[in-house]
Amino acid sequence: MSNFALPTPPYFMVILSTSELYDDLMFKVMSEKVLELAEKMDGFLGHQWTCQEESVSITYWDSVLAARDWMQHPMHTKTINIGNQFWFSSYSLKLAEVKEESRVVGNSIEGNSSRFPHIETSRGILKVLSLENVHLLYDFVNREREHLARWEPTRNEEYYTLKTCELRIKEMRRDFLEDKGVVLCLLDKTESEMIAYTNFSAISRGVFQSCCLGYSLSKSYEGQGYMTEALRAGIEFMKSISIDRIQASHMPVNKRSAAVLNRLGFEKEGVAKNYLKINGEWEDHIVTALLMRD
């Protein structure tokens, strides 16, 4: 992501490269806040940040003194130290001067909007959210907070902020373009309310051609077939991109989820003991799968 047009040389860059042990949304939230601090400092020109297997955060400065001040800033140093304890397998921090350059302007994630699915179902629209929809996601996670708590991992307060919702949408769109996952949200026909969330994650290609599935539904729409409607359309889309095995799991007490999966043709494969930490407790899960192979 980038918040500016690159300056004209000469200018200076502070480059933080990190190899992350795992993908963690809270590290991204913390990094965003640190970058907001950089924006207020003298000499700041802009920043770029990419998050993949190796994340690269680049801040741009108009002088070497400004760049060094940022490298040594206590909050910047503290964030790196925390990351090194919990999130990084390795990192490097560099200061570089750019005296001349050549540029190629490519497409941004938002510039690829025509590539994102926009599926009409009988009662709604199933789509990968854009940043224009951030308030729909924000309203959904806050409206359904109490309802979904018993079925989800424990969330901290940061999870429910607008900033985190923005980061999640950017991650959804990036993961779609990189063939890592497909998050399809069911909106009403006017696209003014979010009804359900479906997450086809951990896409594996090659000899596997599979993914995992998670989903959630607004309490006010339970018992009306909306979750089945969204998942059926989502599964058809996954078939169209050559995914032919989808694995889903649910807690034994979640009878509604079991009924939805059964209705869609998922078959029980076993029970995973202490499989996921849900609402602060390790919970057994029934593992099911939908096979669509000839």
| Bridge partners (DSSP) listed for residue 138 | none
**DSSP letters for 13-63:** EEEEEEEESS--HHHHHHHHHHHHHHHTSTTEEEEEEE-SSEEEEEEEESS
Question: Looking at residue 35, which CATH number applies to its domain?
Answer: 3.30.70.100
Instruction: Please say whether the beta carbons of 245 and 208 come within 8 A.
Output: yes
Question: Looking at residue 198, which CATH number applies to its domain?
Answer: 3.40.630.30
For residues 138 and 69, membership in a common domain is answered with: no
Instruction: Please say whether the beta carbons of 194 and 136 come within 8 A.
Output: yes
Instruction: Please say whether the beta carbons of 180 and 194 come within 8 A.
Output: no
Residue 93 belongs to some domain of the structure: yes
- Give the residue from 69, 98, 127 where a domain finishes: 98
Q: For position 103, what pLDDT does the model report?
A: 57
What is the enclosing helix (H) or strand (E) of 129?
none
Residue 3 belongs to some domain of the structure: no
Instruction: Please say whether the beta carbons of 47 and 2 come within 8 A.
Output: yes
**pLDDT by residue (tens digit) across 123-151?**
999 999 999 999 999 999 999 999 999 99
Gap between the Cα atoms of 82 and 4, Å rounded: 28
Classify each residue of 123-143 as buried b or exposed e, where b means 16 or more C-beta atoms within 10 Å of its C-beta: ebbbbbbeeebbebbbebbee
| Bridge partners (DSSP) listed for residue 272 | 285
Beta strands in the chain (DSSP E): 11-20, 44-50, 54-61, 88-98, 118-120, 124-127, 182-188, 194-204, 210-217, 245-250, 267-278, 281-291
For residues 122 and 247, membership in a common domain is answered with: yes
Residue 108 belongs to some domain of the structure: no
Residue 82 belongs to some domain of the structure: yes
For residues 67 and 132, membership in a common domain is answered with: no
Report residues of the chain scoring pLDDT below 50: 1-2, 109, 111
Burial class (CB in 10 A: 0-12, 13-18, 19+), 100: exposed
Q: Which residues constitute the domain of residue 51?
A: 11-98
- Give the residue from 98, 132, 166 where a domain finishes: 98
Strand ordering across the sheet containing 124-127: 118-120, 124-127, 182-188, 194-204, 210-217, 245-250, 281-291, 267-278
Verdict on whether the full-model pTM lies above 0.85: no
Q: Which residue has the tokens 């140093």?
A: 77
**pLDDT by residue (tens digit) across 229-275?**
999 999 999 999 999 999 999 999 999 999 999 999 999 999 999 99
Q: What domain count does the chain have?
A: 2
For residues 140 and 204, membership in a common domain is answered with: yes
Residue 79 belongs to some domain of the structure: yes
Residue 249 belongs to some domain of the structure: yes
Q: For position 199, what pLDDT does the model report?
A: 97
Residue 171 belongs to some domain of the structure: yes
For residues 179 and 213, membership in a common domain is answered with: yes
